[in-house]
Amino acid sequence: MRRFAVLALAGLVLTTLTGCPATERRAEPTPTPSAASASASGQQPGPAPATRASTDRPPYTGPPADAPASLGPLTVLHAAVDLTPATPTVFSVPSAAAATPDGRVLVLLSPVADARPRLATVSAQGVLTGAVDLPPFTRLDDLHALPDGRAVVVGELGPVDDATGGYGLAVVDPVTGSAQTTVAVRFDPSVVIPYGRSAVSADGSRAYLFVTEIGRRQEFPEQLVAIDLGTGQVVARRELTDDIAGVSAFPARFEAAGLVPRPDGGVRLLLDASPVAARLERLPTLLAFDQDLEPDGDPVRLTDLAEGAETQAVATGADGTVFVVVEVRDGDWVLAVPDGGGAGPVLAQFPDPTHDYALEIEPAQEWALLPSLDGVRAIDLRTGEQPPPLDLGCDGGLHVRGIVPAAAGAAVFGECGAVAQRTAMLWLVGP
């Protein structure tokens, strides 16, 4: 989906870059200037980043011993939910989804017209039970469900409480619509187009945001921000200029492919680094940070530069294992990197890069689910076996936007039908 995001935001840049750049206003605490920030002013660059896969650390060896029993391949369609009643007056795109511990599925609905975005709720049985208005987000990027059933909505916020907007989040009650907002990085929207990734800790106490931007005429520090979800306060912030410069000749920007939580707190940032400045070639790389955003261990390179890999989709297991779909020169690979580990074997491969942009991993870590031409397809991560795809019954065109784990399998969201007659949908699939 990053390919589509690049095209969409790049087009937006052309229509919004006018006038002089404004002075940035940031939420406290502010980033500390880094040594690498001065490199553009004449400091000598550091040593060239390495380009070989990180095979000097323990590789992924399979599901953890305490993993739950596998559901097997998800090849049955249990419900097809029309989301149109959640936004009856305007067509909205389902941009993200997340399942709550009690089996409900929450869906972010982004209107294509000038209207408030909404959060819809679908029961475990596949019934649309309600929808609430969201705070004034101008763009929705991500959604997480907390252990208590509330939602964490991430994206670009308009002005909140008479203050300048920016990139941040809202903790939302999906029943009442009550919300607590936090603007993590403030900016002038006339000169900044933000781009972000997010993660929430397993216990639901802390959210992490990676924030970057395009279209600015002065330096904008790419940064990680930690937010206490109980108070809504920013509790840590780290400028990533040095960290990214250690693995890539260029800022991360759109090459930031994912931000995933670690089991003991903190996050790992996955980016497609470009270690050789003379040519733009990608190398999927993980940077690990603890809960206070301090670096924790050396960067992990998932492949060799010569393999020409580009990250397409990212998912994570409860034990912190990061699962990644990378497109290589002769197809796609599914890889896994345990927390604290390094690059390992290819778990599965398939020659279809057209439908590689979403990934769901079951808690047992035995089966994965990816999009297919007419629906979704299961892949056995132990053998590479691929049963026949599941047809979602969408005549006239299907656009799967994402797949997320659900209580009894997975939830697939997207649109059904021809472009001019699309219907926002959620499908519940299981064994």
Burial class (CB in 10 A: 0-12, 13-18, 19+), 326: buried
Average pLDDT, integer, range 60-68: 95
H or E segment to which residue 7 belongs = helix 2-16
Q: How far apart are CA 285 and CA 223, in angstroms?
A: 17
Burial class (CB in 10 A: 0-12, 13-18, 19+), 281: middle
pTM for this one?
0.88
The three-state secondary structure class of 192 is coil
401 alpha-carbon distance from chain centroid: 12
At 273-315, the pLDDT tens digits run 999 887 778 999 999 999 999 999 999 999 999 999 999 999 9
Query: What percent of the chain is modeled with pLDDT above 70?
Result: 86
With cut-offs at 50, 70 and 90, classify the pLDDT of residue 379. very high
For residue 227, what are its two tokens? 């937010």
* pLDDT at position 418: 83
* pLDDT at position 30: 38
131 alpha-carbon distance from chain centroid: 23
CA distances from 139 to 116, 135, 252, 411 (A): 10, 11, 20, 22
The pLDDT of residue 42 is above 60: no
Average pLDDT, integer, range 135-144: 94
CA distances from 384 to 2, 192, 345, 366, 430 (A): 26, 43, 12, 10, 19
- Phi/psi for 191 (5° steps) reads -125, -5
CB 292 within 8 A of CB 226: yes
Average pLDDT, integer, range 144-171: 90
H or E segment to which residue 198 belongs = strand 193-200
Angle at alpha carbon of residue 15, lines to 10 and 20, rounded to 5°: 105
What mean pLDDT value characterizes the chain?
87
Q: The dihedral of CA 190, 234, 155, 33: what is its sign? A: positive
Q: How far apart are CA 311 and CA 301, in angstroms?
A: 12
The pLDDT of residue 4 is above 70: no
* H-helix segments, 207-285: 241-245
The pLDDT of residue 159 is above 60: yes
CB 410 within 8 A of CB 402: no
Q: Detail the DSSP E strand segments found in 256-366.
A: 256-261, 267-273, 283-289, 300-301, 310-316, 322-328, 331-337, 348-350, 360-361
Query: What percent of the chain is modeled with pLDDT above 90?
Result: 74
Buried b / exposed e along 191-223 (16+ C-beta atoms within 10 A) = bbbbbbbbbbbeebebbbbbbbbbbbeeebbbb
For residue 245, what are its two tokens? 């410069």
